[in-house]
């Protein structure tokens, strides 16, 4: 299982670097084209395909360009077998701290994100909460 963890961690680094740098080509290396991103932050389902996500990433200033502090964290990886896993990660973009649940499958020898469910809180509130703990 250690091999799977190392391989998944490598894929997660592409994920973190791609979002931090606003690098769509890098994100395309980790997201499967059939992936969808889902959340219900306002109580209603928001469900985006990858082309919508890539357009959003390409259309905004990246965290790197804005000199934002990186707050990437792998909170856990659950490997359920040689070809499927779930990773729970956090990443900050702008004023938001996202918690992402990434379903990964090993396809053609590469770990790819096939589904993402996420939520977010304000980065300021998360920082204040951590300081109080």
Other C-beta atoms lying within 10 Å of the C-beta of residue 11: 20
- What number is the average pLDDT over the span 73-96? 96
Compute CA 58 distance to the chain's CA centroid, rounded to the nearest angstrom: 16
Residues 63-93 as b/e (b if ≥16 CB within 10 A, e otherwise) read: beeeebeebeebeebebeeeeebebebbbbb
Taking residues 90-116, what's their average pLDDT?
Answer: 97
> What percent of the chain has pLDDT above 90?
87
Q: Give mean pLDDT, residues 96-123.
A: 96
pLDDT at 1: 62
Q: Where are the beta strands (DSSP E) in the chain?
A: 36-39, 46-49, 73-79, 84-93, 96-107, 110-122
Res. 72: pLDDT tops 70: yes
Please report, for the domain that includes residue 7, its CATH number: 3.10.450.50
Structural domain of 77: 2-132
pLDDT in tens, 24-64: 999 999 999 999 999 998 899 999 999 999 999 999 999 99
**Structural domains counted in the chain:** 1
């Amino acid at each position: 299982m250690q091999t799977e963890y190392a391989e998944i961690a490598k894929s997660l680094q592409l994920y973190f670097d791609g979002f931090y740098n606003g690098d769509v080509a890098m994100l395309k290396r980790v997201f499967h084209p059939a992936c969808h991103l889902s959340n219900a932050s306002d109580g209603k389902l928001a469900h985006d395909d990858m082309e919508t996500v890539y357009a959003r990433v390409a259309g905004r200033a990246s965290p790197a360009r804005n000199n934002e502090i990186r707050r990437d964290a792998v909170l856990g990886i659950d490997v359920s077998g040689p070809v499927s896993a779930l990773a729970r990660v956090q990443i900050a973009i702008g004023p938001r701290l996202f918690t992402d649940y990434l379903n990964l499958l090993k396809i053609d020898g590469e770990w790819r994100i096939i589904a993402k469910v996420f939520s977010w809180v304000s980065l300021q509130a998360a920082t204040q909460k951590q300081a109080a703990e």
